[in-house]
Structure 1
């Protein structure tokens, strides 16, 4: 077996350094330049995997170039990231020539991004009928796009039939995003709708489908993109006078026209798509500097350069038909790239047209300068001399957690309208973000999420000063967590990805962002005693901002001894007993995730089975054949045991009750991270805590004792709880909860572990399977 790269899927400085040490040992190289990096590993979720370091690409300033465009106006300096000598100098020279001639006129003619799925039909006639059927339902396609994004607009649908295959060219406008991911999501939604709508219609139903049939031209040079445009279709033009050409470019209009004619003939003979001189150099340099998708340089660098006489000068024109650029998403949020976009006045929403015009203007400047250098004999000399050496106003950076944002939050949390926040200091992060935050960042990485330690100072309504070390937990939306898991499991193969697509939206992650905030609003005593102190909540749907401001918990670092486990079981038992048998009351309040069908666990069996099979095949050292078969057996029998599970008394459960989400403060257990709270068997929290803490030396007697302790603590809460505990088989409830844990949470952990290393998981798997063997020996499973 090949040696695996360490820290798989982990975004932390410790994981980066582990990978660096591993790479040094493997390569035998010192790799001194990778020792430090200016990038924060935790902020690279969704940008890169197996992060080991960063490299510096020199960035030179070209220009200024005077623009008289639709969106770009005034004198602009461009940051060009390149290691090619003479590039910045040549672009600057062309910029001087264009500027001295009055500047460059620029315009974005259109903005399009496409995705072209391919459908296979039984025969040619069916493909033609489908085309006619689809034309009559054009408005329904728009509805599907709106389900995915309010920033995306479907502007055209072009069918291209080749025999029994039909390629459907969906053309979108994507606002300020380059749009590849956006159009993929929208097209996938349309394809899902088409597949579902025609599921029972054999006269129209396709027999196969590819999300991309390679007609879109994605990251490829194609004649279709040249004609119809892909990305921003942008043009730039300038009239150069003889005087400027002589003074700056050191050539004449006649020489430029003659050289241009020769290059056109050469391009035609070579079969070049379009006609260009050197535009791709500027495209690549600006892409690197501003966080664009560098792979799109291939298609984005395609150009049509023209030069013609105009009186005593020439008119130069450039068309970039396929400029795939964006000012939101992807690498545009990285710190250096964001700075350069801000320098250009293009950062964020509303900046893409200006940015596209800037690219076109500087590309034209470089083409003019390069052609002049070639026709005047300067080309080789210059290289020899210089070539050596809805819009949503998201919370986006930690600086958004400022006094203005936190003042109403703190005033509400302290129930003191006179609160005045005077200072917010950002403190070092001691631990990485939670798994949910990282998964949410995979689903949407343009916004601020995660754990942010703060030192907050304020005065209260009586004028007294206070300072406290707090934590702002900025939550991902549940939909983003589901999408992040989808992105993760997409790497696990079609079976897992397809199953998650069908069932992921029904899992416990739905509405996770609202659930935790709702928990902190509770006033019932047992729950309040278990929670960290909450200093305020922010729930702003308009900004998609969901924040819990709470006390900063300091873990004492002590091991989870049996005494500590018993302490935690007694603490959670008070919550279990308070709500035991009152599940209908809880669900009626509407803030807890409610599974619409009690049999859903069994219905989603294909998902759990796919996760288990993938984990066992990819990580047999984690889940061996016996473990795989044990969990698959639980999945296969889910139609029976889940009915029994839902017939037992249920309560409010934490549903993520393990040491990752627990702290002990002065003998008091504190439980946080309640985003997965559900109505379930109280034994579910017991199962997870024991799996995480007992270890492989656990005995069946210890498990039985822990169960008895928990049952007694639940029963002691109230006469109603005592009656319910006495009326059911507590160990049977534990066995059913253990089945659920193994089938769902552990299966998801195990599959995720193949892409993102969970250091805690091997021990948890071994302990959980040991607990299962105890119950098999006990005879109750």
Structure 2
């Protein structure tokens, strides 16, 4: 009953018209953006600047207002031994789906190591199907017989429109008084939808002219398309007869490669495949496929294809079988609609990505189709192996919450929170923060921040630099701060477990069992406790803290600290150990030694806020995980762990029950437990240098030598000499001042090195599989060198 007044109102109000219609200029774009802001009341700051020249868009877009950027990742390389595609190919994938690029890359690696993918274009065609309606069945049948005799005439009409389209068949399909005529073309390097529409329209004009003078055959109605072609839709007819390119790809994975790279077996993949075929039939699936559309869509976006054609292009026929212990996998894409000329391929970035594939311009349509099919096969295999190996669910795990959380937002990190902190820290009662400006500068990297960057995007976490303006007692000022907004420990645990699941094999199987004991539990509260602690020796090495904010109900854990300035040296210098001179290294050792000295003998107090603390009993139970991580590192990164080094670490892991009990007997203290140039710097005051240590989330109870071992592994070169190590050990021992004899202190350093190698270096190697750590090759080499030095010292005390 309410529709009539509304309809009347619409009739009385002029229909809105967009400004700048048909104009391809920056002025027209800005006019359209201004109109959009006015009508929607939205600020739209991200649309202010656009990166595509409007003059390049006629024929591709109307009413141009801005762009949407889709990140592009590289997958591969994948080795092709096909008819058109040959050699190593790296594919650009435009996507926002986490783990897609990594999964495609994993499949590409397995196929390449097993000998590559064979690819073959089977056929290429494009269809358009006009409909002619007649007065009766007889006239329709007579027309159907007549049209197949006129192909030569129709060829000439098509040639008048397009030199690239070749009419290969005219197929009439009579449905009562209507005849749908399937015009089947080959379109060379173009996708051909628009081209064949124009050619078919010209042919239909000729047909209608001829029929008009043929008694009883004049159609009563005509349309250029009535859905028989299946344009941008899945149809069984196109599955059988093809529309676009019909292309196939095949590979054979030997058992060893399948196990090493995809962490599964031929039998496990084959078993899952057979279940999935039956389930697909029950669900009414067309063909059989896992997720080829993921690759097809990602390459389509990157290379300027018609995105809607993913619907018909994404249907596949995927199959596997086991033969003589190997796994053979085949993928057929029966209707892949692509083009390497025309349309969106003319845009500059899309053209560049086609160039990456070696597919830009005429003559490359077959190569392009084979590349898409090969990479789609790689993803199908990778995903199926992940499901068969139990990695798929692990890689998609999320933290369950029993209630709705009002997460901290940027607006919460403003004056109401920072005002009381600054007033207390600056000893200025009544101080008022008048403005908070977010700074763009990069405050440094954090592996834990990166780990959790995709875990819960609706909440603010990370290291956020701000400038707070304030007034107090008649004056004003401003202070630069870094707000460290911490994720929950379980968010980090889950993201680390996802990395483990992508490694597959025993790592994927065992990591979930022990993931709460790999050092991350409690990290969201532990660092806040560090910054609250009154111990002068600890506060002397921390960045100046202005306050902490903790609200468990909102999952809010915030530290407000100074933003380190130009008086600080070697900030985030893990990739530049050459910057650390001997005097710098000594200053760092003395600084952390003062903290170690202050907390020696305070084990019970430390346990109260550092829990959980690792034990010899638990480390012994976890040997299966450490062994699995070692196997993975040695297999995936032999350049990091040569065979002899892997054997040495294997013996260290086997002996954990003995040497970890010894670690528990040695004097222990508060240790940073992540004490390396990623998390420390030096402050210059005149000619003096003092330590600044931050990122204490992994702090724990351990022998003081644990921090020294990690520092030396990061800063010393892989050819470090025994005398240099001894000198720094002596400096640390004397600075801690515990009175341990030199031999016992060195024993503690040896065991701390072993602990670092097992519990941290091997975890770094796991991360390195998915996220390159530039510092790791050097740190691994130095760690092995330090272990060799301590082994020699123990044999010849």
TM-score by length of 2: 0.50
CA shift for structure 1 position 445? 4.0
> What is the alpha-carbon root mean square deviation over aligned residues?
4.7
Alpha-carbon contact 2:603-2:669 (below 8 Å) kept: yes
CA shift for structure 1 position 623? 1.4
Alpha-carbon contact 1:602-1:638 (below 8 Å) kept: yes
Deviations 1:303-329 (A, max 9, x none): xxxxxxxxxxxxxxxxxxxxxxxxxxx
Matched, 1:612 2:630: yes
Alpha-carbon distance change, 562 to 705 in structure 1, aligned in 2, over 3 angstroms: same
The corresponding residue for 2:549 is: 538
The higher radius of gyration belongs to 2
Matched, 1:556 2:564: no
Alpha-carbon contact 1:696-1:766 (below 8 Å) kept: yes
Matched, 1:582 2:574: no
Say which of 592, 600, 613 aligns to 1:572. 592
Give the unaligned 5+ runs of structure 2. 1-70, 79-84, 106-191, 195-266, 288-292, 302-306, 316-402, 571-577
CA shift for structure 1 position 470? 1.2
CA shift for structure 1 position 209? 12
CA shift for structure 1 position 665? 1.6
Q: For the residues of structure 2 that align with 1:693 and 1:27, how far apart are their CA atoms?
A: 44
Matched, 1:602 2:625: no
CA shift for structure 1 position 451? 1.2
Deviations 1:126-169 (A, max 9, x none): xxxxxxxxxxxxxxxxxxxxxxxxxxxxxxxxxxxxxxxxxxxx
The corresponding residue for 1:194 is: none
The corresponding residue for 2:217 is: none
Alpha-carbon distance change, 728 to 767 in structure 1, aligned in 2, over 3 angstroms: closer
Q: For the residues of structure 2 that align with 1:515 and 1:533, how far apart are their CA atoms?
A: 17
The corresponding residue for 2:113 is: none
Alpha-carbon contact 1:490-1:497 (below 8 Å) kept: yes
Alpha-carbon contact 2:522-2:612 (below 8 Å) kept: no
Matched, 1:753 2:765: no
Q: For the residues of structure 2 that align with 1:401 and 1:27, how far apart are their CA atoms?
A: 55
CA shift for structure 1 position 598? 3.3
> 3-state DSSP class of the match of 2:437?
strand
Deviations 1:559-592 (A, max 9, x none): 11121111100000001011112212321xx211
> 3-state DSSP class of the match of 2:482?
strand
Matched, 1:698 2:720: yes
Alpha-carbon distance change, 443 to 659 in structure 1, aligned in 2, over 3 angstroms: same
CA shift for structure 1 position 414? 4.7
Alpha-carbon contact 2:493-2:516 (below 8 Å) kept: yes
> 3-state DSSP class of the match of 2:667?
coil
Q: For the residues of structure 2 that align with 1:415 and 1:511, how far apart are their CA atoms?
A: 31
Say which of 526, 533, 543 aligns to 2:537. 526
Alpha-carbon contact 1:645-1:733 (below 8 Å) kept: yes
Aligned counterparts, 1:36-55, within 5 A? none
Q: For the residues of structure 1 that align with 2:628 and 2:454, how far apart are their CA atoms?
A: 21
Say which of 410, 430, 446 aligns to 2:442. 430
Alpha-carbon distance change, 665 to 439 in structure 1, aligned in 2, over 3 angstroms: same
Aligned counterparts, 1:581-730, within 5 A? 581-587=601-607, 590-595=608-613, 597-666=615-684, 667-715=689-737, 721-722=738-739, 725-726=740-741, 729-730=744-745
Aligned counterparts, 1:143-222, within 5 A? none
Matched, 1:513 2:524: yes
> 3-state DSSP class of the match of 1:729?
helix
The corresponding residue for 1:151 is: none
Alpha-carbon contact 1:46-1:445 (below 8 Å) kept: no
Alpha-carbon distance change, 413 to 298 in structure 1, aligned in 2, over 3 angstroms: farther
> 3-state DSSP class of the match of 1:645?
helix
CA shift for structure 1 position 630? 1.3
Matched, 1:449 2:467: no
Alpha-carbon distance change, 464 to 503 in structure 1, aligned in 2, over 3 angstroms: same
Alpha-carbon contact 2:616-2:656 (below 8 Å) kept: no
Alpha-carbon distance change, 738 to 664 in structure 1, aligned in 2, over 3 angstroms: same
Alpha-carbon distance change, 445 to 627 in structure 1, aligned in 2, over 3 angstroms: farther
Alpha-carbon distance change, 467 to 645 in structure 1, aligned in 2, over 3 angstroms: same
Q: For the residues of structure 1 that align with 2:633 and 2:659, how far apart are their CA atoms?
A: 24
Q: For the residues of structure 2 that align with 1:621 and 1:425, how far apart are their CA atoms?
A: 46
TM-score by length of 1: 0.51
Alpha-carbon distance change, 568 to 432 in structure 1, aligned in 2, over 3 angstroms: closer
Alpha-carbon distance change, 749 to 582 in structure 1, aligned in 2, over 3 angstroms: same
Deviations 1:341-377 (A, max 9, x none): xxxxxxxxxxxxxxxxxxxxxxxxxxxxxxxxxxxxx
CA shift for structure 1 position 430? 2.4
